[in-house]
Amino acid sequence: MNQARPPASNSTSTSPMSAAAGQQLPPPPPSAGKWVRAMVAFGVSVVLGLAPLLGTVNVPGFTALLTLFPRWPFDMARPIIPIASFLMGALAAIIAFYATERIAISTMRRWLRNTIVVIFGALLALLVTYIFSVEQLTYQGTKSVAVLVGFYRPATCADCTPAMSNSECLEHTTLKAAKIKSCWGDKNINIAYLSLAVLYLAVMGGFGVLVGLYVLKPQPVP
C-alpha cells in the first residue's frame, strides 16, 4: 500500500521575516527624525562637550570639582557622572526652548539673583559637608587619598578606640572597604554620600542655569 508523501519543500521560498529584512524600511516622519536628532544632540553631544567639566576627560591645568570626591570606601564619582550628564543635557534643552521666547529683563534678573543664592549656598554647604565627612589620609610620605568616613565614628568600632583620630583609625582599617563601612557604619557613610551628591548636583545645575541666563540675555543693539 502506497503511503502519501508530504509535499516537497520549496528551497527557494522565503519566510515573511527574511522578506521584510530584504526590503528597505520606511523612513521615520520628519517630526520623529527631528526628535531623534535633538535627543542625540542634547543627550550625547552636550555631554561630550562638557566632559572636561564633568571630570571624564583630563585637561592639563584644569581640575574638575568631581575629582575631589573620595574613591574609598567606594568610587563616589562613578554613579554621579551619569546623573550630572543627564542634568546638563536637560538644562541645555530648557535653555534652547527659552531661546525662542521673549523674557522680560526684570524676570531674568530675578532668576539671576536666585541662581546666585543657590550656587553659593550649595557651594558653601558642599565645602562644610566635605570637611566634616571626608578624611585626607597621607601614605608613603607624600601621597594623599580622600576617604569618605561620614559625620561621626560610632563607639562600637572594634578596630579603633574612641581616643583615636580618623587618620589613626584608617591606618588600622588599611583602606579596606568592608572594614571602613563596619567601623563608621553604612548608614552614616550613605548619608554623607547622599549629601555630597545632592550638593554637587545643585552647584553644577546652578552653574548651568547661570550660563544659560547669560546666553538668553538680550544683546544690546549697536
- pTM comes to 0.82
Question: Per-residue confidence at 140, pLDDT binned at 50, 70, 90?
Answer: low
In a domain, 180, yes or no: yes
pLDDT in tens, 149-198: 999 998 888 888 888 888 888 887 777 888 888 899 999 999 999 999 99
The predicted pLDDT at position 60 comes to: 92
**The total number of structural domains that make up the chain:** 1
Q: Tell me if 130 is assigned to some domain.
A: yes
**Band of residue 23 on the pLDDT scale cut at 50, 70, 90:** confident
Residue 139 has pLDDT above 90, yes or no: no
Domain holding 168, by residue range, is 69-150+161-216
pLDDT given at position 28: 79
Closest CA to 207 of 97, 124, 91, 71: 91
Within-domain flag for 49: no
Q: Give residue 179's identity as a one-letter amino acid code.
A: K
**How much is the average pLDDT of 11-35?**
68
Residue 139 lies in a domain: yes
Report angle CA 88, 81, 182 to the nearest 5 degrees.
145
DSSP 161-179: -TTS-HHHHHHHHTT-HHH
What pLDDT score was predicted for residue 195?
96
CA dihedral angle for residue 206, residue 124, residue 67, residue 92, rounded to 10 degrees = 0
Band of pLDDT at residue 6, cut at 50, 70 and 90: low
Look at residues 85, 124, 102, 107 and name the one whose alpha carbon lies nearest to residue 208: 85
Enclosing H/E stretch for 136: strand 134-139
Question: Between vectors from CA 199 to CA 138 and to CA 95, what angle results, nearest 5°?
Answer: 130
What is the percent of the chain where pLDDT is above 90? 55
Please check the confidence at residue 13 and state whether its pLDDT lies above 60: no
Flag the least confident range among 20-24, 26-30, 177-181, 193-197. 20-24
Query: Quick check: is 207 in a domain?
Result: yes
Q: How confident is the model at residue 141 (pLDDT cuts 50, 70, 90)?
A: low
pLDDT at res. 18: 52
Residue 4: inside a domain: no
138, 105 Cβ separation under 8 angstroms:
no
| Closest listed residue to residue 174, CA positions, set 137, 142, 148 | 137
Helix axes 177-184, 166-173, angle to 10 degrees: 140
Report pLDDT for 157. Answer: 86
Average pLDDT of 106-111? 93
Measured CA to CA, the distance from residue 133 to residue 129 in angstroms comes to 6
Look at residue 11 and tell me whether its pLDDT is greater than 50: no
Tell whether 107 is covered by a domain: yes
Q: Minimal CA–CA distance to 65: which of 75, 76, 55? A: 55
Structure confidence by residue, pLDDT tens digits, 110-120: 999 999 999 99
Beta strand 134-139 with 143-148 is: antiparallel
In a domain, 16, yes or no: no
